[in-house]
Chain A
């Protein structure tokens, strides 16, 4: 054995292994979004009628008209399993925060109103309106990767936070409480999942 070369080889492996060890501490699924901290893309979406035979309303929600309010947009679909997990959280927290001036909207993603209405009935209702997004235009503007994804928009119209995957009680509370406490603008441009 040539021990000198063996030692050099041993030392050469150290940085490689250190790099891999570092990799294990990261989550590659955390997709950085450029949106937090920037102006939320404008949208104008029709409200999904609560029943198929209800008279077609001309209700349209425009982001521009929401200035001064905090908006939570939750993209979801009836075919999405993870959306079932987060629904009770939204159900419970939406009324509570509405009283504090936070608007919650569901946004239908690649789904049909009929299927969604059945799903909402099955899940025991939805205390906020669902917006219809034809051709997934708004989803594309928001860089949606999949459902569910939830966007928090501050009073100044900037995206304060984007959450990928089922949203949790803690995320909603932490984000909305700090937005409410900050009053005007976005307190922190926190991103990530």
Chain B
């Protein structure tokens, strides 16, 4: 029954997305308007895919093994939560979920643009339908999750052990899909603008909230993925430059570049073609990432079993790549800049350098990710590109970005005076020196780490002082009290202050990344009962080993007592889990987190009678700040995109709340009375 509901829903949605795409393109091309049919189809498809996803969840929870996907990933012994989240635990389910998110986005786009009736929106709706069409074809064909299994098996193998080992698996994949799939929306708008020829800043303004929202999801997904990797994979790290990590990171880099450069287009009418290129690249990189991981082209923790789906994805990439590049190149004459750079010391320049760095970063990561494929194609050898390449190549870029993160907010649009620059860089400069001295005094000797801490301090103060400037300007001009002034300054320009808050989050996470990678110490020892090893400030004593049979696995854990300065402070239990379908035991490290450092224990090996165990202990400073930084970034995103209120960011010089014509963004404005209020 659920099988029938789900499958027929997909079939109807397939037909509707085809009709919707055609109707939307025809209406936009012939009449320069949107198609009511395509709009309705978007709503219906959103509902149909929601039902199909729910049907699959019901099938998973009720162990309906007549459904092929359930027979593949379900098991009677899997706990309820992991039954539900195995919706995205394997290929077919993840495509179903993808299609669900995509059609929901499409319906939301159609809803939020319901008062607009122009060709740009018309084409954008068509593009959304066309992309949905591809995923629905996958669901009907090579990735059909609703296949019929006869005879119905009594039980299934259960989900991949790595995916049922931690609750973060309930968080990381949905966030990633929300981020990844969300990038389709700016892409659709960009294509709409290109096709309709209306290449003013309108499309990027319309898409800004969508992009920032998707970017926020993607950021959260990447951080959650790092966290999961740290808590589950048991190697003490959180980033390995694995192809799939790179696949999620590359669109993040281009989307970050776009979020910044779109402001230059809004304010100065520059970088039009570049912005379209960034949006198209971001979308292409999400599809590329999916192709690389879902078709088994590159090996990674994330690769699902291949099959014919790779060729579908290849065809899709070919269509998107060819169509978008040909349209972009063909329309490039219309993408001329209206403004031009007035001074090197201006915010425009900062954004240009920002974009240059992010682009080089993206190419570096792309090169390292695809190089094994190129090497095999050209020289026929298997090579792997590891962390040393990526670290060596990207660390200088990271340093430059950190520095820019501090300078950027200090630079006003158009041009600056030396006095103003000095005034704004005084406190950050002091913070830079202080951070350097403190890090050195605490024993940090690595050149990159020292520079990293110094620039982090510099940029942290550079962004935080903007709140101070904003509040102070209001206090002086309007006589408000400090807290009121701060709140109103932020409320009056949420996009700007949300952005600074995200910067602060990135910097907090950066401090965590620098400290945990530069100052990590590890020690491995084989211990008998009662024996101890020492790492950092801790003494780790091995007590005993236990075994426990759980419905879906067998767990072996070692009880360990942690002492500091002779006093017992904690007991921990690193574990190994044995799943029947795994070719390796799956580790569950024991992690003791404090604000200062994490103690991370991994059970490497054990004697059957518990007489001896081999334990690897790692002390990593500041790890928790990476996760906290991620939350702060999200908070910044929420501040920036929360619906309603807030002043138009383009409203130069206007009083808070006052509205003004949009075209003003690009015409020269007299300097304002209160510069901090305006910028």
Assembly CA distance A80 to B579 (angstroms):
8
Residues of A close to B325: CB separation below 8 A: 9-10, 12-13
For the complex, is B331 an interface residue (Cβ under 8 Å from A)? Answer: yes
* Total residues of chain B contacting the partner, CB 8 A: 45
State whether the Cβ of A8 lies closer than 8 Å to any Cβ in chain B: yes
List of B residues within 8 angstroms of A29 by Cβ: 296, 299
Instruction: Determine whether A1 belongs to the interface, using a CB cutoff of 8 Å to chain B.
Output: yes
| Stretch of A15-23, A38-46, A60-68 contacting B (4+ beta carbons < 8 Å) | A15-23
Cβ 8 A contact of B331, one of A1, A24, A32, A81: A1
In the bound complex, CA of A79 to CA of B298 (Å): 28
In the assembly, what is the distance between CA of A146 and CA of B582, in Å? 9
Most buried by B among A13, A30, A114, A136: A13
B227 within 8 A of A: no
Do A13 and B318 touch across chains, with their CB atoms under 8 A apart? yes
Is B77 an interface residue, CB under 8 A from the partner? Answer: no
B314 near A27 (CB under 8 angstroms)?
no
- How far, in Å, is B158 (CB) from chain A's closest CB? 11
B605, A135: Cβ atoms closer than 8 Å? yes
Partner of A28, one of B299, B327, B328, B607: B299
Q: In the bound complex, do residue B297 and residue A13 qualify as a contact, i.e. CB atoms below 8 Å apart? A: no
Chain A residues with CB under 8 A of B526:
135
B314 contacts A24, C-beta separation under 8 Å: yes
Nearest CB on A from B191, distance (A) = 14
Q: Which residue of B lies closest to A8 (CB)?
A: B329
B377:A19 contact, CB within 8 angstroms: yes
Question: Do A147 and B329 have beta carbons less than 8 Å apart?
Answer: no
Nearest chain B CB to A16 CB, angstrom units: 7
Confirm or deny: B40 has a beta carbon within 8 angstroms of a beta carbon on chain A. Answer: no
Q: Tell me, rounded to whole Å, the shortest Cβ–Cβ distance linking B363 to chain A.
A: 13
A23 and B328 within 8 A (CB): no
Q: Does B274 contact A (CB under 8 A)?
A: no
Known: A17-B321, A19-B373. A6 touches B329 (CB 8 A): yes
Of B370, B377, B583, B585, the most chain A CB neighbours within 10 A belong to: B583
- On whether the beta carbons of A32 and B297 are closer than 8 Å, the reply is no
If the complex has contacts A17-B317, A27-B296, A135-B614, are A2 and B330 also in contact, measured as CB distance less than 8 A?
Answer: yes
- Chain A residue with the shortest CB-CB distance to B577: A79
A120 at the interface (CB under 8 A from B): no
**A69 interfacial by beta-carbon distance below 8 Å:** no
Within 8 A of B (CB), among A69-126: 79-82, 110, 112-114
Residues of B within 8 A of A82 (CB): 583
Do the beta carbons of B331 and A17 come within 8 Å of each other? no
Q: Tell me which residues across on chain B come within 8 A of A147, comparing CB atoms.
A: 583-584
**Chain A residue at minimal CB-CB distance from B372:** A28
Contact B605 A9 (CB under 8 A): no
Asked, given contacts A20-B314, A20-B317, A24-B297, whether A10 binds B291 with beta carbons under 8 Å apart, the answer is no
> Complex formed: what's the CA distance from A10 to B584 in Å?
46
CB distance from B277 to the nearest CB of A (A): 11
Taking CB atoms and an 8 Å cut-off, the chain A residues in 132-160 that contact chain B are 134-136, 145-148
What's the nearest-Cβ distance from chain A to residue B633, in Å? Answer: 32
Given A5-B332, A12-B325, A79-B580, do A19 and B314 touch, yes or no (CB 8 Å)? no
Task: Report which of B311, B318, B329, B330 forms a contact with A24, defined as CB distance below 8 A.
Answer: B311
Question: What 3 A-B pairs have minimum CB-CB distances, sorted nearest first?
Answer: A146-B583, A28-B299, A23-B297
Q: List 12 A-B contacts (CB under 8 A).
A: A2-B332, A10-B325, A10-B326, A17-B314, A17-B321, A20-B314, A23-B377, A24-B311, A28-B299, A81-B582, A147-B583, A148-B583
